[in-house]
Amino acid sequence: MADKITVGYTHLSGCTGCTVALADNYAGLLTLLDKYVDLKYMPTLADARHIQKVDVSFVEGSCCINDKLAVEELKETREKSAVVVALGGCACYGNITRFSRGGQQNQPAHEAYLPIGDVIKVDVYIPGCAPTPQMIRNVAVMAYLLLKGTKEQKDLATAFLKPLMMAAQKGTTACFCDLMTEVINQGLCMGCGSCAAACPVRAITHEYGKPQGVRDLCIKCGACYNQCPRSWFSFDVVSNYEAINEAIMAALQ
């Protein structure tokens, strides 16, 4: 179909959890591929693996700078994609790969892993370890609307994607500490509990309504901070949650 968007998927040092999360959209994924997305290349889910020119590429995993091929693939991805989406905690923030000290078989000298934003310019972040199927779905639908939609749909998609673009500009590190430095220290925490709910490793509890982190458990995925309504919040988008949810569900029928 001519008006599909072309999409690629580059897999660097990630555990394939992001791939699985994408696949866990089940029928929704089939609808996406059927109606909106022409998947040009992707290890695991597509026949073609080599990077091609696309509208949007998703990158899973961080980039080991000791791995020449990974660095090249990442740069090629940037050169050939209009929009680069860092998918998952490792691509956005390094996540668990931040803890690498090398020494693993069969590439013991691979030890220096960078979030992709430290190597190339990234346009959109989808944080989370693993990112959720619904978040990937929502971004995919919005990317389609941005590129192929009516004026109104483009505006909606721009507003929806804006905070994820701002997250990409903000930086490449994440930690429980972000809640301390950017939310509590800034006098913004109101004790909703979203951060604790979002944490994949249960590093966060609440004491007297405020988040308390076990920092040794934290894998630096960025889910807590980005889920927090006091990190970023768009009234324009979230106040229309009902209509937007319905539109996304209708698009996937």
What is the smallest separation between the CB atom of 112 and ligand SF4, expressed in angstroms?
21
Tokens of 61: 């995993």
149 binding partner (options another protein, ligand SF4, none; Cβ < 5 to 8 Å by kind): none
148 binding partner (options ligand SF4, another protein, none; Cβ < 5 to 8 Å by kind): none
What is the smallest separation between the CB atom of 185 and another protein, expressed in angstroms?
9
234 binding partner (options another protein, ligand SF4, none; Cβ < 5 to 8 Å by kind): another protein
Nearer to ligand SF4, 214 or 243 (CB): 214
Strand partners, 46: none
What is the smallest separation between the CB atom of 133 and another protein, expressed in angstroms?
7
Nearer to another protein, 62 or 231 (CB): 231
Task: State the pairing for strand pair 63-64/113-114.
Answer: antiparallel
Contact criterion met (CB below 8 Å) for 118 and 171: no
What is the C-alpha separation between 49 and 9, in angstroms, rounded? 8
203 binding partner (options another protein, ligand SF4, none; Cβ < 5 to 8 Å by kind): ligand SF4
Chain centroid, CA 46 distance in Å: 20
Residues contacting residue 61 through CB under 8 Å, at least 6 positions apart:
11, 12, 13, 14, 15, 18, 88, 90, 91, 97
Residues contacting residue 194 through CB under 8 Å, at least 6 positions apart:
224, 227, 228, 229
Amino acid identity of 11? H
6 binding partner (options another protein, ligand SF4, none; Cβ < 5 to 8 Å by kind): none
What is the smallest separation between the CB atom of 200 and ligand SF4, expressed in angstroms?
6
Nearer to ligand SF4, 39 or 183 (CB): 183
Sign of CA dihedral 55, 57, 58, 62: negative
* Binding footprint of ligand SF4 on the chain (CB under 6 A): 174-176, 179, 183, 189-195, 198-199, 201, 203-204, 211, 213, 218-224, 228, 230
Name which of 112, 51, 60 is nearest 91 in CA terms: 60
* Binding footprint of another protein on the chain (CB under 8 A): 21, 126-128, 130-135, 138, 160, 162-164, 166, 182, 186-200, 202, 205-210, 212, 221-224, 226-235, 237-239, 241-242, 244-245
Tokens of 211: 């988040």
218 binding partner (options another protein, ligand SF4, none; Cβ < 5 to 8 Å by kind): ligand SF4
Nearer to another protein, 104 or 234 (CB): 234
Strand partners, 94: none
